[in-house]
């Protein structure tokens, strides 16, 4: 990792942005779990174990120009783009001021025009053709945008993955397909989802595929940055398969010990990208335990305030049920 850091373009500021994002996402996620278990919120779906890949990917993109199509575990990605913990908490508490959907959708169904995050849904992989279409629109208008779409390995089996990749390959569109292979599609393990490697599919679509260790922030960053440069140079899409592990159950409604062992989970927890990043930062002299403690305290404080704020915030008024089914007023 040392060599990669030195060879890459990581500054201390970049490392810090990435690491702090990972910690903010991790502490948010752990708190969301506690809130659900204590009956404060209805549901949570976790991204723990995937934050390093998400944060590193976001750091390699341009938040001013690029177009984002995240999936439902992308908390670190969203935090890196600029969604606040207050906003995530409003979403978790299903309140009217939730910028993603005003409490209309489940948590994790991101969408925020301000952050160039396109609205997503629950049927998986549907966002993949959207990313391709937005990239096509960007090209038609001569914009510099690159579309970045993330999804799990389970989603890679949907027709929309294939149709989207093929379309983007044929038209050499500026799209980064970012598969977060967390080894489980709810309970079905990777080996019962795919017979080959997801990354190898890229060749069939006529573009480059790269597999990276998702716990290695430098490797993910390099892969996304290279993919972005390629897209910007008109060299078409890239499929990145980031190998991660879903530490938490699929959602708060899932008992993961029905299909995997504690030992397996603990093995992967030991390889957690968050700890690896911290260890690297300390070793490189960029971080100290005092800074770690200060960051954790800041996160805890921000979460406490966000919870108080979200708890007090109003739900959508019942009278708004039929709002925004179609546009008010006529043609534009």
Q: Does 91 bind other proteins (CB under 8 A)?
A: no
Q: Does 164 bind other proteins (CB under 8 A)?
A: yes
Q: Please list the residues that pair with 265 across neighbouring strands.
A: none
Count of residues engaged in binding other proteins, rule: CB under 8 A: 47
Q: How far apart are the first and last CA of the chain?
A: 53
Tokens representing residue 211 in the block: 């597999």
- By beta-carbon proximity to other proteins, the closer residue of 285 and 329 is 329
Catalytic residue among 17, 136, 171, 259: 259
- Contact (Cβ atoms closer than 8 angstroms) between residue 100 and residue 91: yes
Q: Does 19 bind other proteins (CB under 8 A)?
A: no
Burial of 254 (0-12, 13-18, 19+ CB in 10 A): middle
- By beta-carbon proximity to other proteins, the closer residue of 21 and 101 is 101
Sole window of 55-63, 212-220, 265-273, 322-330 interacting with other proteins (rule: CB under 8 A): 322-330
Q: Which of 6, 137, 253, 300 binds other proteins (CB under 8 A)?
A: 137
**Interface mask (CB under 8 A) for other proteins, residues 35-74, using x and -?**
--------------------------------x-------
Q: Does 331 bind other proteins (CB under 8 A)?
A: yes
Catalytic residue among 246, 268, 278, 280: 246
Q: Which of 6, 7, 170, 279 binds other proteins (CB under 8 A)?
A: 170
- By beta-carbon proximity to other proteins, the closer residue of 14 and 316 is 316
Q: Does 330 bind other proteins (CB under 8 A)?
A: yes
Sole window of 36-44, 80-88, 165-173, 236-244 interacting with other proteins (rule: CB under 8 A): 165-173
Sole window of 52-60, 85-93, 164-172, 225-233 interacting with other proteins (rule: CB under 8 A): 164-172
**Interface mask (CB under 8 A) for other proteins, residues 96-135, using x and -?**
--xxxxx-xx---x-xxx----xx-xxx--x-xxxxxxxx
Active site residue 259: yes
Q: Does 33 bind other proteins (CB under 8 A)?
A: no
- By beta-carbon proximity to other proteins, the closer residue of 192 and 315 is 315
Cα distance between residue 254 and residue 45, in whole Å:
10
Length of the chain: 332
Active site residue 104: no
Cα distance between residue 211 and residue 225, in whole Å:
14
Active site residue 171: no
- Report the interface residues with other proteins, using CB under 8 A: 67, 98-102, 104-105, 109, 111-113, 118-119, 121-123, 126, 128-138, 140-141, 147, 159-160, 163-164, 166-167, 170, 323-327, 330-332
Active site residues: 246, 250, 259
């Amino acid at each position: 990792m040392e060599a990669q850091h030195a060879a890459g373009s990581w500054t201390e500021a970049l490392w810090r942005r990435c690491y702090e994002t990972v910690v903010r996402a991790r502490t948010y996620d752990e708190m969301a779990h506690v809130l659900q278990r204590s009956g404060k919120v209805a549901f949570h779906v976790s991204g723990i174990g995937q934050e390093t890949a998400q944060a590193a990917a976001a750091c390699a993109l341009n938040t001013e120009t690029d177009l984002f199509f995240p999936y439902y575990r992308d908390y670190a990605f969203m935090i890196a783009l600029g969604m606040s913990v207050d906003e995530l908490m409003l979403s978790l508490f299903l309140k009217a001021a939730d910028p993603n959907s005003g409490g209309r959708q489940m948590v994790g169904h991101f969408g925020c025009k301000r952050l160039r995050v396109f609205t997503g849904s629950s049927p998986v992989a549907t966002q993949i053709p959207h990313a391709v279409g937005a990239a096509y629109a960007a090209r038609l208008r001569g914009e510099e945008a690159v579309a970045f779409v993330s999804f799990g390995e389970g989603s890679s089996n949907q027709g929309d993955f294939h149709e989207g990749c093929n379309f983007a390959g044929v038209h050499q569109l500026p799209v980064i397909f970012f598969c977060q292979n967390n080894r489980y599609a709810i309970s079905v393990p990777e080996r019962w989802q795919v017979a080959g490697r997801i990354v190898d599919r890229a060749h069939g679509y006529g573009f480059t595929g790269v597999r990276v260790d998702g716990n290695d922030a430098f490797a993910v960053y390099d892969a996304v940055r290279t993919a972005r440069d390629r897209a910007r140079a008109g060299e078409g899409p890239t499929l990145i398969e980031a190998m991660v592990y879903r530490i938490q159950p699929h959602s708060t409604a899932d008992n993961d010990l029905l299909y995997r062992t504690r030992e397996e989970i603990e093995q992967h927890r030991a390889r957690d990208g968050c700890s690896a990043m911290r260890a690297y930062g300390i070793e490189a002299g960029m971080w100290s335990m005092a800074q770690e403690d200060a960051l954790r305290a800041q996160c805890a404080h921000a979460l406490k305030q966000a919870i108080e704020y979200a708890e007090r915030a109003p739900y959508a008024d019942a009278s708004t049920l039929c709002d925004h089914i179609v546009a008010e007023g006529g043609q534009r």
